Amino acid sequence: MALSDEIKSNNKKSLIKKILIVSIIIGLWYSTYAIYFKSENIDIVKEEKSFTVKKWDLKTYIEADWKVTLKDNINLDFINPWIIKKIYKKEWDEVKQWDLIAELDTSYLDINIEKAQLSLDIAKSNYELKKRWSTTDEIKLQEELLKSDKSSLDNTKSQTNLDLQNTIDNLKIEEDNFENAKKQVEVNLLTAKNNLKTAEIDLQTSKNNLDSIKKQEEEKSTNYQNNLIMEAWQLITTIEKNLFDLDMLLWVSEENQYYNDAFDDFLWAKNTSIKQNAINSLILAQKSFDDFYTDWKIYKTNPDYTILENKALKLKEVSMLVNKCLNYTTLTLKYSITSYSSFPQTTIDNYVNDFTKILSDSKNNLASFTNLIQTINENETSKDYKIDTATTQVSSMEQKLEIAKANYDKAVLENDIYLSQANQKIKQANQVVESTKLKNESLILKWQSDVEISKTMLDSKKQVDSLDLEPFYTAILTAQKNLEEAVKKKQDAQLISSINWKIVNIEGKIWETTNSLKNPFVTIINTKSLFVESFVEESDIIKVKQGQDVYINFDSIEWLTMTGKVIYINEKANIDANSLVTYEVLIAFESSDPRVKDGMSTVIEFITKEIQNVLIIPVQSVKTVNKKPSVKLESSEFKNIITWFTDWKMVEVVSWLKLGDKILY
């Protein structure tokens, strides 16, 4: 049935039905306030209070308590099942609280909202008609309004035809875009494939280069180490000869202690301490050499190049000790006295020259040996650097290959998505065409309804009292509720993130129906958002809905109240030892207050209804006078009023009182 026909049908309802509705409303009114007002004799009040009519917010709620908790992840689903229209996020995207993640197709919901708004406009118009007399000027004005509505109806028909043609043209554009998308997909895929092949070649080249460098550097290191061993043998031979020559002069060892008996007394005649230093340094050098040589012979049976440097450094220390002994021995000879027969000056000079040359040669050999050690160290450092550089290059090429593979896979996926999106746009354009047809019908219906409303308003002739206005105001509230429910359903068609963090899984795809999904639509990991995990008794759980607003009060933080939303209701009941049945409810809230901690006890208010910025008076101030709700004014006069929503402490005043009026009770 068309909406205009429904309006006509409603205007033809019988008088008996209207009387019945009024009787039911009066009965409900009496049952609501009977517990407060049992007598019409209101003069027995001994003390009167005054109250100034003000604007305030009213709410009703159910209460529960539990604790703050921190969960690892949150699953989100659409409240009502329908077709997925858009997905704004992808997996591993970061989201902020209240970010839009996805939404359902709302074409039919938009039509329902328009119908609900139209019903509300009709209800308001009927209410206003009942509140006043229609004068001649008002009738003329209404006739002009009717004429304007008819003109708007004609203009709407013209405009809707134009809009429909635009959507058909857009459909043709999307079909052309789909063909272009196919060509672009082929280009993208070929580019990604070529990049992947290039990355594979680069990786193999870098691996070959690494193997070549390792081989070259290992050969170079082996050559240097072999040279060092050869140099060590030469240095060992030289040290061994020098120690023997020194012993022959200084008679330290048992086999050589009698060799210098002929000139022993002359060696230390001038400075005994110098000779003792030479002897001590020889003993130390000989012992160090013997220890080293014993260890070296063992090492040579099974050379370990990793400790070759340590062996070379020890040999260097032994050589330095021998050089020290050579130096002291040369000084000993210089401080010796001569003997013409047994120890002439020529002999001393020959010894000095020999040992000076030996010391010089030893220093040169030691310097050459030290330089070779340093060269090996530098070569090892260079080898490590070259290998590390080549290894880094291989790693870089491996990363580039992985990126190329990922880009290729991404190109394949994106190409599928690209074609799918282009195809979806064609479907969407088709849907827009159909939606435009529905919208055009709705607009035409609206203006047809406005014309009918204008005609109805011309027929209004009388004014009614407050009680007669009750059914009309009820119709407004009913229409408002229907409009709010329609808007709420559209809001529920949007999936909003309840926390700040990252999406790890998206289950559905565009144009799938949500009731076909086996798992939650979205899973978000959480590291910082807090939740309240509450348990609501079975008598109250039917009043709790997903997305419902909640006020959170904290036992340990005075005067702190935060807002949150219900994001999850467990369908499975919890039954304790006393057979108390409760249901788990999860509430999300974002706390910037550092005092709020995990595990804190809370008191939760689930808002079942809330209205804002309405005129209110105390419930106790409303009395029943002549079977009608009334209040006592400052002048002691009683005035009939219309009330509506109450939280059982305050009540909303619909009409006949204004802001600032004072009442007594």
Residue 30 clears pLDDT 70, i.e. is over it? no
- pLDDT by residue (tens digit) across 417-437? 878 888 888 888 888 888 888
The pLDDT of residue 631: 93
Kindly state whether residue 215 falls inside one of the protein's structural domains.
Answer: yes
- Answering whether pTM is above 0.75, one says no
- Tell me: pLDDT of 655 over 80: no
Q: Would residue 384 count as lying in a domain?
A: yes
Q: Which of 172-181, 329-338, 406-415, 419-428 has the lowest mean pLDDT?
A: 329-338
Instruction: Flag whether pLDDT at 7 surpasses 50.
Output: no
Let me know if residue 103 belongs to a domain: no
Q: Which residue has the higher pLDDT, 22 or 631?
A: 631
More confident residue, 150 or 318: 318
Mean pLDDT of 469-495: 83
Band of the pLDDT at 266, cuts 50, 70, 90? Answer: low
Does 244 score more than 80 pLDDT? yes
Mean pLDDT, range 463-467, rounded to an integer: 49
**How far, in Å, are 188, 549, 567, 596 from residue 535 at the CA level?**
54, 16, 14, 20
Residue 570 lies in a domain: no
The beta strand positions in 576-649, using DSSP E, are 581-589, 601-618, 623-625, 628-633, 638-640, 642-646
pLDDT at 232: 86
DSSP H helical segments within 57-135, as ranges?
107-131
pLDDT digits (tens, 9 = 90+) for 183-206: 888 888 888 889 888 888 988 988
Residue 656 lies in a domain: no
- pLDDT reading at 137 higher than 50: yes
Q: Is residue 79 part of a domain?
A: no
Is 336 a member of any domain? yes
Minimum mean pLDDT range among 183-197, 244-258, 361-375, 415-429: 244-258
Taking the mean position of all CA atoms in its chain, how far away is CA 178?
35
Is the confidence at residue 40, as pLDDT, over 50?
A: no
Q: Please give the Cα distance from 475 to 468 (Å, whole number).
A: 12
Q: Residue 284's domain spans which residues?
A: 134-451
How much of the chain exceeds pLDDT 70, in percent?
84
| pLDDT mean across residues, the chain | 80
The mean pLDDT value for 440-454 works out to: 82
Residue 309: alpha-carbon gap to chain centroid: 54
How does pLDDT run across 515-557, given as a tens digit for each residue?
777 788 888 877 667 788 889 999 899 889 888 889 999 999 9
pLDDT of residue 265: 55
Give the residue with greater pLDDT, 343 vs 474: 474
Q: How many domains does the chain have?
A: 1
Residue 627 gets which letter from DSSP? T
Asked if residue 365 lies in contact with residue 234, where contact means CB atoms within 8 angstroms, the answer is yes
Confidence of residue 134 (pLDDT cuts 50, 70, 90): very low
pLDDT at 16 over 70: no
Residue (of 508, 522, 506, 417) closest to 84 by Cα position:
508
* Parallel, antiparallel or unpaired: strands 530-537 and 54-69: antiparallel
DSSP 8-state class, residue 502: E
Q: What is the structure's pLDDT at 418?
A: 76
Q: Over pLDDT 90: what percentage of the chain? A: 10
CA–CA distance, 624 with 595 (Å, rounded to integer)? 50
In a domain, 519, yes or no: no
Q: Output 282-285 pairs: Cβ under 8 A, ≥24 positions apart.
A: 282/243, 282/246, 282/247, 282/250, 282/252, 282/325, 282/329, 283/252, 284/321, 284/325, 285/243, 285/318, 285/321, 285/322, 285/324, 285/325
C-alpha to C-alpha distance for 92 and 97, rounded to whole angstroms: 15
3-state helix, strand, coil in the chain (%, to 5): 60, 20, 20
Please give the Cα distance from 624 to 37 (Å, whole number).
7
User: What is residue 513's DSSP assignment?
Assistant: B
**Using DSSP, how many helices (H) and how many strands (E) does the chain show?**
10, 20
Mean pLDDT calculated for residue range 352-374: 81
Partners of 75 in the β-ladder: 523
